[in-house]
Amino acid sequence: MNREGLTRMTRVEVVVAGSDSHPVREVFRSTGATGFTSLSGVSGLGHSGYHQGRLIFNEQDALELLITVVPDEQLDALLAGLKPILDSSPGVMFVSETFVSRPEYFS
């Protein structure tokens, strides 16, 4: 595993209420993600809460941060699958570049 051995992938992170975690995982799976990492102990406020007097999240909500990593060519399907969930439920999504050592695990 040297630096040349790293492969560029796309990391998608979604913060949703715990009750929306299952549909997010289903989208990950059905659009070809080979796995995910889930973090509990997550809370949040906003986004848009401060500015518009409307909270997307209430600080008491038990939220979940779900992380998956996909090859770039799977990103569009993943984003399309997440859109209905994020359109109808509170949630935020972050997409970023990452590098992995075992690309075969993710595709």
Q: For binding to a second copy (CB under 8 A), which residues are involved?
A: 1-3, 5-6, 11, 15, 25, 29, 33-51, 56-57, 63, 65, 69, 75-76, 79-80, 82-83, 86, 92-102, 104-106
**Residue 64 Cβ, how far from a second copy at the closest point, in Å?**
10
C-beta closer to a second copy: residue 23 or 47: 47
Amino acid (1-letter code) at residue 105: Y
Q: Is the peptide bond before 51 cis (omega within 30 degrees of 0)?
A: no
Give the Å distances, CA to CA, from 23 to 51, 67, 84. 29, 14, 10
Shortest Å, Cβ 19 to a second copy: 17
| Minimum CB–partner distance for residue 81 and a second copy (Å) | 10
Q: Rounded to whole angstroms, how far apart are CA atoms 61 and 10? A: 28
Which CB, 20 or 106, lies closer to a second copy? 106
Q: How far is CA 40 from CA 44, 67, 87, in A?
A: 12, 12, 22
